[in-house]
Structures are given as structure tokens and as C-alpha cells.
Structure 1
Amino acid sequence: MTHPGWGEKWAETPALTVEEPEPGETAGPEPLDPGPDGYRRPPSDRNWVRPPRERVPFWTQRRRTALRAALWAIAALALLLGLVVAWVVYDAVRARAALADAARGVAALQADALEGRVANLDERVARLREDARAAHDATHGPHWSLARELPVAGPSVVAISTLTEVVDELARGPLPELARSVELTDPAAFAPVDGRVDLAPLEKVAPDVVRADESVGLAAQRVARLDGQMLPQVRDAVGRLGAQLQSLRATTATAARAADVLPVMLGSEGPRDYLVLVQNPAEPRALGGIPGTVLQLRADEGKVTLTGQMSGGMMGNYKEPVLPLTQDERVMFGRQDELARWMQNVTLTPDFPRAAELAREMWRLETGKEVDGVLTADPVTLEALLRGGGPVYVDEGRVEPGDLSEYLLNGVYLEHEDPATQDAIFAGVAEQAFARLSAGRGGERNMIEALVVAARQGRLLVWSGDEAVNRRLEGTALDGSLSGVRGDSPVVGVFTQGINMAKIAYYLDTAVDVRVIGERPDGSRELAVTVGYTSKVPEDQVATMPERLLGYGEENPGQIRLRSLVYAPAGGWITGAEMDGKETGLTPKKQGELSVASRDIKLSPGATASVTYVMITGKHQSGDVILRVTPGPRPADITISDADPANAE
């Protein structure tokens, strides 16, 4: 039956028929065979029918969706981190170049400050600021903040950012201030005019210099606190900048102390009187030598005048110690209280503040005059101060400045046997030297360099009756205190006392070698300190040498007799000693809290002697070893090394 409107075409459509199955057959379509891909296909027809999907539980579908999302998130995060790392690396390369330029600028400014150069100062400061800012900007931003949190790269990123921050902060503040102070504190500005030093420039820059020193100190601490597993290149950069900041801090600390202390010491707040102990290292004492000449100076508003002078040999023998001595001092420096009964023996103690107190009291007893402080100097320092000037005149003619120390320490005794004549020559040389220095004819830059070298060698020491001044000097080369430790650095003392009452030690050379031979679990270290002495006495001239040089009543003329004193660091002790390769006994002593070993040595002309002391430092003294040595007629040959394989380069 068809619909009338379907038309003829639909009317011709055959009717649907259903064939009955034969007996034994199953009704329905032909069975489908499974194909290799798991789908079923008719064996004789290439057309195939997809089987119905297997129903997957809801929680399984959800887990698969979450896994796919996590994988995409990880891929996106990895891509993001890769971009961040690439960006950080790119910026780090830029920062490295800018930081290197800034570091060179810092070094140049430091050199300018030390040399007093002021040309192109503004241009140099501007370039430093530009380089420092470029390094800072290249290592800051959101990507650097993200990189800081990475577990492996984080410490290196933090270190790089900190380095650029430190240099940028220094470039924007204290370094330019310190550099500009050079314009006002040029050494030529300190040349005395009519015997007076103009203190105004130094007083003007003092606040800036002190502030700069504090900033450099804080910057050095920030860099020192950086730790963690850094890349080798970053750790090297941290070490280099740390070392540079330590060097810069030494400069700024000295400048800050000078700016703070010098005006007061030179009388900006009222007159100040000082003793100057001119030591003679040809007759050794721990601090250098016997005070052969003692001067009194007065400083008033920058004007320094010589107000008194006396031979050191004229002060003593006092019946009683001028100040009470401790039991340690009596044992260390003679039971007859020589330390406090003779001016020429106050330098037996290597503790300069103690020697200064004794000298001041002796001067008061002799002259009735109080002084505000005590300084030391010697002919080696005097020669360096006068170098570049004309000759010094003495009774028999003239002495060139370059020959002055040799003449005062040796020549005067060879040419004049009378002690009174010798004292008169010393007094005349002192007056000429003071007149030249106060007139500014010693060469200002040479004078400052000479004073720096003298302080480093222990020839120039300063003590004040004003404790505020002493606190500013504490820990510097000018201090001379017997502390045994400075910061975290162990201080080893190697001092020489002459036993001969003679000037024969002019021919004594000293060498000191300090080696770190072990690290201990408690942070202390084991040191080997080798002290070598060599006699340069010309044997063929001994017979013609005067007794003043050889010593009165010497059984073996030409022999140098001395006592070697070695001080262990604070909290440490001396465990043993060897002399010329053989174990030797020691005379253990103590001065205050410091362990001391002493050894008497005799040297024939041309002979040598060597003693090695093994000692333990105090706990947690990890800084560089500091060595104090008695300054002799010639600088000691000093070597300090780290022999520990773990620390060897």
C-alpha cells in the first residue's frame, strides 16, 4: 500500500521480505570475525562495524582527565621555568660585565684616595654609579624573585643579587663621599705652615669618612654571610668581592680613625703634651729597643713644638717601682723590678699601653710635668721621614738622609766612645729632624708613606691618656696592646730581648716563619712558629770595636746574647719546641692570660740559630694569623703560610 502522493517511483519499490532460516541455522546477520585491531569484520566483506564502547567507570575517567591536566601543567611550568632561567642567565651575563667594570671603578677610587689624586674624580664617580646601577637593574625583577626560590639555583641567584646590591649602594653613597674627601685631605694640605697644620679640612670631612667606613663594614658583613651551594663562578665572585671589601675596609677604617682622632690629638680641643720614646733597636727590647732619647712635644690647634728632651739613660735607677708590678711582670722581666725602675727598660714588655704608663710616670718624677700620651719612633722611621731632604749635620760633618739610621745605630759608636758625646749627637739630630718636619720640608707624601710603613712594622705606636682615643686606636697597628687575638684572628708574638748591655745587636737579623699544620675539631689550629737568628758581626773587626758597641766586661766579645720570647694566641698554649732540629726544653711562663715560652740564645760572629715552637690557638680563631715581631735595625723576614693540605691551593 502506497500513499497516493508518493508517485510512481515509490510505488515501484519492492516490498520488504523476510527469509525464514533453514533448519539448523540461526536467524540474524552473518557472524563477524575479530580483526587484528580488535574490531570485528565480516570474513567476506571489507566493510566493518565498530563494536559498542566499553563503559568506563566515572572515577576512572576523572583520574585520566586529571592526569592529562597535570601533564599539561608540568609541561607549561617547565617551559616557564626554562624561560625564567634563560632570562636570568642572560641578565647575569649582562650583570657580570657591569659588575666587573664597577669593581675596577672601586679599585681605582681606592687607589686615588691612597695617592691623593683628584683629577677626573667626578667623571670616575659617575661611571662607577652607572656601572653599578646597570648591574643592579640586570639582577632584579619578578623573574629574579622567582629564581631565588629554586632549590638548586636559588643560593647562586641570591648571591648575585646581593653582590650587585652591595656595589650599587656603595656607589650611590659612601664611596663618592670618601673619594671627594680626598680633595680636602690631600697630603699637601697637611704640610705645616709656620709649624702649624690646618685641621679644618680634616674636621670637615670627618663625619663623611666615619659614615663611609660604617657602610663599607656593613657591606662586608653582608657578603661574608652569603652561603649555600653556589655555582663555582658565583662563589669565586663572592670571594673576590669579599676580599676587596676587606681591603677597602682597612683603608676606610684607618681614614675614619685618623679623621676622628687626629684633630683632638693635635690640640683642636685644647693643648696636648706627648712623650716620644726614640728607641734604639741595636740594644733590643720587646717593643724595639731601649729608649735612648725621650722627647716632649706640645700640640695646640695644629701647631707642634718641642718642649723638652732628655737621655733615657738619665732616668733611673729608682729605689722602688714607679708603679706596682704584677707577679707575672716580675717573673717575666726580672725580679729586681727592672721594668719599672729604669726608663731604658720600660720597653721590655711587649704591651705598649703598660710601657707608656710607666714612661709617663717616670717623666713626671723627673720633670714634674704631666703628659697626655706616649708615642714611639726609632732611627729607621726618622730616616724614612727625612728621605728626600738635605743632609743632617753632626760634629764631624754631615750625614745623608739615606745613611741616617746606620749612623745613629752603629756609626756613632764606632766614631765616638764618650757617651756624653753620643747623647749630644742624638739630641742635635732630633732637633734638626723636628725642625724640618714641622716646617714641612720632608716631602708630604713621603712622610705619610713612611708613617704607614713604620706603623705596620711596629716602630710607630700611640697611646693616649684619653680612653676615648684609645678605643678608636684599638685593633690597629698603632695600638700595640698585648691582646693575643684580633677579631677572629689569632695573634702570635715573637719578641727579642737583648741580654748584652751593648749595641752589638745592630748586626742581628731575624726571620720568622709561621705555618698552619693542623685543624682541630673545636675550631682551634696547630701552628709551627720557626724563629731564626743570624749574627752578621764581622769577626775580623771585633778586635777594634769599642766596648760601648761590644758590651763592657763581655767574656766573648762579638757574641750576641739574647732572649727569645714567643707568645701563643689568646686561649692557646705552647706544646713543645725544637732547636736546630732537636727537641729542646722550654721555660714556660705566663703574662696575664697569655702562654709564653722563652729561650736564651748565644750567637758567635757569623753563627745562626733556629727554634721551632709548636702551639695551639684559641677556639674558633679561623681568621688569618697575625704576627707581631720586635722591629730591629732591618725589617724581619716574615713568612705566614697555610700548610694544611685541605686549605692548600
Structure 2
Amino acid sequence: MLWAVAVVLLLLVLVLAWAATDALRARAALTDAAAGVATLRADALSGWTDGFTQQVADLQDDTSRAYEATRGPHWSVAREVPGAGPTFEAIATMSEVVDELARGALPDLARSVELADPATFAPREGRIDLEPLRRVAPDVVRADRSVGFAAERVETLDGTMLPVVGAAVDLLREELDGLRSTTATAARAADVIPPLLGAEGPRDYLVLVQNPAEPRALGGITGTVLVLRAENGEVTLVDQTPAGLVGPFEKPVLPLTPDERSVLGEHGEVGRWMQNVTMTPDFPRTAELAREMWLRETGEEVDGVLTADPLALEALLRGTGPVDVAEGVRVAPADLAEYLLHDVYFEYESPQEQDKVFARVARQAFDRLAAPRGETDVDVVAALADAARQGRLLVWSSDDAVNRRLAGTVLDGSLTGVRDDSPVVGVFVQGINMAKIAYYLDTKVQVAVVDEREDGSRELDVTVTYTSTVPEDRVVSMPEHFAGYGEEEPGEIRLRSLVYAPAGGWVAGASSNGTEIGLTPKKQGEFSVASRHIELSPDATVSVTYAMITGKRQSGDIILRVTPGPRATDITISDDLSGTAE
């Protein structure tokens, strides 16, 4: 019996040694494959497709070596051995997952990128050809599902395994998360872009052009309203009007909740003036109100609502040459936002003349949108993507199916206090001045985790700092419509700061310079809101720290939404107790 046990143990040692040797081969192949996946994804995102066919072939060769190295009866035994089993199981599963991706999802994604190259979508005679996107849609959706399934399989790997293998599992999880982000975005685009661009019939969209120099929660007061028509890939500008000519309405065009009146204005401003529909940080609500206002004013029903601002227009016009802002006056695209948010008010005293400038720029922006620009198209797409990440471009459709696909993306703009398991903190601002003086407002937001509570919630410190860069020596020479009508303190920036706690959480208190300060606690639906008036003299800074509790079981990375201003908000998030900032 002892000899039999010794023989069994010897065979087991030999099996494990054999499997370990194969594991080293598999690990080397997986390392090469990981580098190949990273390169393939980077090239896909940059639009470089020349080497895709060879890259995919090389990747498949690497994953085949890893897969073959982890097959055979000895691996079946090794995966069941107590103690060593989780390590061998992890290596075998990773080999299977990566090999399946190399033979399915990644070739699908590669073909999709080749067909949907940004150059393919350059307008031709004012029209974008949607056929390539239609052709790649099935491949993109299939790739997204495959990557999602692979991520789920890797997520199930657990147990005590060798540190080097555990690190490889974590790395693969991270790579799959990044790849899933890419495929999910591509799948959404393939699904929603054709109908949005009128592939199934004409679509009319209301575009709210905001002015962040006069802040509202979503960005700024609506200065100009445009109507775009999309039909079979062709986008045309069919109407534009100053927002001040829409309404005002005696009563809100849609019923407002008591919470909306409490937080956004007891007189229902958000539902009566087109300029103020962006007072709510919930963009779908803004869109519904704006759509109804336009219907009552013109009798025309639109199919969706978008937002933009001068910084987004600047990105759109990048690389296209100077912009004719008035007869004999030209501005470089890089200086366009500054001109529209500041200079135009000093050059033209009449609001009517200012509106003519805005209309002229809008017309050029969409004329140039229809013109191919060769290599600069990719740069423009990247610039617009950055504007979207800052919340300057938002999209809402009257088609609920489209909105469901947009949910959770940077284009959505819904007021949500949690996304998956990540708490969402909102820091928004409303301008009180009837002026554009907030052009000189700089905003900084710092979020730090202070404590992790037993119920799975976290305690946060959210510090909001507002700084006025108003040049005091120029206040006297500022036009009244820029500095503010009837202001007792010319040059002063007056704001209302609105800070939203994550879903299920609340704002517990606030302090400034180490001293506790009073708050006006409010609720908007399920959200706890802290409201505070801020007054800034030229060169002054006001900083407020809000003590905030998140909802339970919100352990994901903290997400911060802010009002996009004339310049990007300075954001720091420290989401662990060690104080490491992201």
C-alpha cells in the first residue's frame, strides 16, 4: 500500500511538473498576446488599420500556443489538485478566453474599424455615407457580446493562486474592462448613429447653444436656438433664433414638482424661459421642457434636443481657417470661444448686433461641418469627444430606445446619483447676475474619501473653490450688459452653488476655512442637495468643504459631474484612504 501511495504521489508530482512546464510556455505566449491586444486596441482607437490583418494573425498564433499548452489529461488533473488547482485553473481559463477573443471578437472589431475608418465618414457633397456603419453593426455587436462574456468568465476566477498568476488575472481583467469600454461604445454608435442621422427618415433636432459666461447648471444660459435636420446622413441648418424670442410663458409649459421649484426657483423659471431650461442638471428634463416650448412657440415638433457651447463650436471649427464673425472681422478658431464669450460684448453694445454675430458663426460651423477636411477630420472628432467628456455636448431623443442606448455615456446628461456601483457627486452652479461677468470665474473641485463605514457607504469631503479673475482696473470700462445691469457692486460675481449627494446619501454639513457654516438643505427627487449663495469680488476666492455620505454598497470609483464653464474645471479625486489622487 505504501508503494502504491508513493507511486501515486510520484505520478502526481510528474503531472504537476509537466503542467508547470506547459504553464510557463502558456504564460510566455499570453504575455505576447497581451501586448498584441494592447497594440490592436490602441491602433483601433487611433484609426490606424494598415497592419490589422497581420496583427490579428500574429495574435491568433500567440493565443493558439497558450491554448494548446493548457490542454491534455495532465491539465485536467492539475486543475483539481487542492492548493495548486486555482493557479492552473486561472492559467487555463485565461488561455481559453484570450484564444476565443483572438478568433472571434477581435477580428470582428478589426474588420469594423477598417470599414468604419474616420476617413470613411468624411462628408461627401454635404452627406455622410451611413452604409459602412450599417455593414459593421452586426460585427460590432457580436464583438461586444463576446468581450462581455469573456470578462464574466475571468471575473469568476478566485481562490489562492501564485502571486504572479494572480497579477496576470488582474491585468487581464483590466484589459478586458478597457476593451469592453471600446466595444460597448462602438456597439452603441453602430446602433444609434444611423437613426439619429435620419437613416429611417428625416429627423429634426433643437440645438441649445449655451453661454457659460452666464452660468446655468448644465453650462450656461441658452443664447441661441438652432434647428438641424438630418436625413440619410445629410445634416442641414434649417432655422435659428435668439432664445429670448421663444416665450416667455405665463406658466411652466410642463408641470414642475415642488422640489424643482424649491431648488431651481419658486417662480418656475426653468419651465417658462427658454434661456433658463438649462437650470436643471437633468438634461432629459431640460430637453422635454425645451421641446415643449418650441412646439408652443412655433407649432413644430422636434425629434430630439442637443446642447453645444462656444468651446464645442471652437472644436468643430478647428483646422478650418479663420471664422468671419462680422463684415471684415475674422477670428482664428483657437480664439473663437474667447471672442464669443467676451470680446463680442465689448465690440457690440446692441444685443441684436451680438445675435447677428452668433448666427453668422453658427451658419459657418454647420457649413464647414458638411465639408471634408482630410486628415483634420480625426483631430476634430477627438476635440469633440473631449468637449463631450466635459459635458458640453449632450443628446436626447424622443425615441426611448435611442435614449436607453445613450444612458451612462457622456452624451446622456441624466441626473443620476449612482452608476453601477460608483457614487456620482454633482457640483453645479447657477449665475444670479444678469450678466456675462462669470466669464472670469475659475472653479476647482476636490473630492476625498475620509472614511469607509460599516454599512458599505463612504464619507467624502467635497471641496469647491470659486475664484474671480475679474481685472479690477477694467471694471469701470466694462459694458453694463457684460458687468451686470443695476449691480450695486460692479464686477462682483454672484452665484448659487448646488451640490448633489450620491443616490441614497446626503450632505451632512459644510465648513469654510475650518469653520462650520449654515446650509440650505433641499431635496430634488431622491437626491439630497446643498444650496449656498456665493459672492466674489474681483480677485476673491471662496472655498467650501461639504461633508457627504454616499449610499450603501457604492464601492466603485467616484464619478464627478460639474457645470462646464468658460474653462475646464480643475478636478482632483482621491478615492482611497491613502490619498492617492486620480
TM-score (norm 1): 0.87
List, as ranges, runs of 4+ consecutive aligned residues in structure 1 with deviation greater than 6 Å: 646-649
Alignment partner for residue 101 of structure 2, among 161, 167, 170?
170
- State the alpha-carbon separation in 1 of the partners of residues 152 and 547 from structure 2: 33
- Aligned counterpart, 1:128: 59
Alignment partner for residue 510 of structure 2, among 573, 577, 582?
577
- State the alpha-carbon separation in 2 of the partners of residues 145 and 588 from structure 1: 61
- State the alpha-carbon separation in 2 of the partners of residues 159 and 599 from structure 1: 53
Shift, 1:648, TM fit: 10
Shift, 1:514, TM fit: 1.2
- State the alpha-carbon separation in 2 of the partners of residues 206 and 316 from structure 1: 42
Alignment partner for residue 279 of structure 2, among 348, 368, 372?
348
User: Contact 1:281 / 1:506 at 8 angstroms: preserved in 2?
Assistant: yes
Alignment partner for residue 214 of structure 1, among 124, 127, 145?
145
Change (3 A) 1:105 1:206: same
- Aligned counterpart, 1:593: 526
- Aligned counterpart, 2:410: 477
Shift, 1:647, TM fit: 9.2
Structure 1 residue 492 corresponds to structure 2 residue 409 = no
User: Contact 1:129 / 1:168 at 8 angstroms: preserved in 2?
Assistant: yes
Structure 1 residue 110 corresponds to structure 2 residue 35 = no
Aligned counterparts, 1:601-616, within 5 A: 601-616=534-549
- State the alpha-carbon separation in 2 of the partners of residues 311 and 225 from structure 1: 56
Alignment partner for residue 418 of structure 1, among 336, 340, 350?
350
- Aligned counterpart, 1:76: 7
Aligned counterparts, 1:399-418, within 5 A: 399-418=331-350
- Aligned counterpart, 2:368: 436
Q: Which region of structure 1 is more displaced relative to structure 2, 639-648 or 299-308?
A: 639-648
Change (3 A) 1:121 1:643: closer
Structure 1 residue 506 corresponds to structure 2 residue 423 = no
Task: Map Cα deviations across residues 523-546 of structure 1 (whole Å, 9 max, x no partner).
Answer: 211111111111111111111111
- Aligned counterpart, 1:398: 330
User: Contact 2:557 / 2:575 at 8 angstroms: preserved in 1?
Assistant: no
User: Contact 2:558 / 2:575 at 8 angstroms: preserved in 1?
Assistant: no
- Aligned counterpart, 1:566: 499
Aligned counterparts, 1:444-463, within 5 A: 444-463=377-396
User: Contact 1:270 / 1:300 at 8 angstroms: preserved in 2?
Assistant: yes
Shift, 1:317, TM fit: 1.8
Task: Map Cα deviations across residues 344-368 of structure 1 (whole Å, 9 max, x no partner).
Answer: 1100000000000000111111211
Where structure 2 has 5 or more consecutive residues not aligned to the other structure, the ranges are none
Counterpart secondary structure, 1:323:
coil
- Aligned counterpart, 2:182: 251
Counterpart secondary structure, 1:557:
coil
Shift, 1:580, TM fit: 2.4
Aligned counterparts, 1:219-234, within 5 A: 219-234=150-165
Task: Map Cα deviations across residues 160-218 of structure 1 (whole Å, 9 max, x no partner).
Answer: 22211111111010111111111211111111112111000000101110111111112
Q: Which region of structure 1 is more displaced relative to structure 2, 212-221 or 291-300?
A: 212-221
RCO higher in structure (CA 8 A, sep ≥6): 2
- Aligned counterpart, 1:291: 222
In the alignment of these two chains, the number of paired residues is: 580
Cα RMSD for the two superposed structures: 1.5
Alignment partner for residue 475 of structure 2, among 524, 542, 545?
542
Shift, 1:74, TM fit: 3.2
Shift, 1:408, TM fit: 0.5
Alignment partner for residue 642 of structure 1, among 565, 575, 578?
575
Structure 1 residue 241 corresponds to structure 2 residue 165 = no
- Aligned counterpart, 1:150: 81
- State the alpha-carbon separation in 2 of the partners of residues 524 and 646 from structure 1: 18
- State the alpha-carbon separation in 1 of the partners of residues 4 and 342 from structure 2: 87
Structure 1 residue 552 corresponds to structure 2 residue 476 = no
User: Contact 1:286 / 1:349 at 8 angstroms: preserved in 2?
Assistant: yes
User: Contact 1:257 / 1:473 at 8 angstroms: preserved in 2?
Assistant: yes
User: Contact 1:517 / 1:642 at 8 angstroms: preserved in 2?
Assistant: no
Larger Rg, first or second structure (1 or 2): 1
User: Contact 2:225 / 2:243 at 8 angstroms: preserved in 1?
Assistant: yes
Counterpart secondary structure, 1:371:
coil
- Aligned counterpart, 1:161: 92
User: Contact 1:394 / 1:429 at 8 angstroms: preserved in 2?
Assistant: yes
AA aligned to 1:550 is: A
Shift, 1:645, TM fit: 4.2
- State the alpha-carbon separation in 1 of the partners of residues 342 and 249 from structure 2: 29
- State the alpha-carbon separation in 2 of the partners of residues 197 and 478 from structure 1: 21
Q: Which region of structure 1 is more displaced relative to structure 2, 101-110 or 83-92?
A: 83-92
- State the alpha-carbon separation in 1 of the partners of residues 429 and 421 from structure 2: 26
- Aligned counterpart, 2:268: 337
- State the alpha-carbon separation in 1 of the partners of residues 290 and 231 from structure 2: 22
Task: Map Cα deviations across residues 87-129 of structure 1 (whole Å, 9 max, x no partner).
Answer: 2222222111111111111111111211111212111110011
Counterpart secondary structure, 2:5:
helix
- State the alpha-carbon separation in 2 of the partners of residues 620 and 280 from structure 1: 38
- State the alpha-carbon separation in 1 of the partners of residues 444 and 87 from structure 2: 43
Counterpart secondary structure, 2:251:
coil
AA aligned to 2:228 is: L
Where structure 1 has 5 or more consecutive residues not aligned to the other structure, the ranges are 1-68
- State the alpha-carbon separation in 1 of the partners of residues 579 and 15 from structure 2: 37
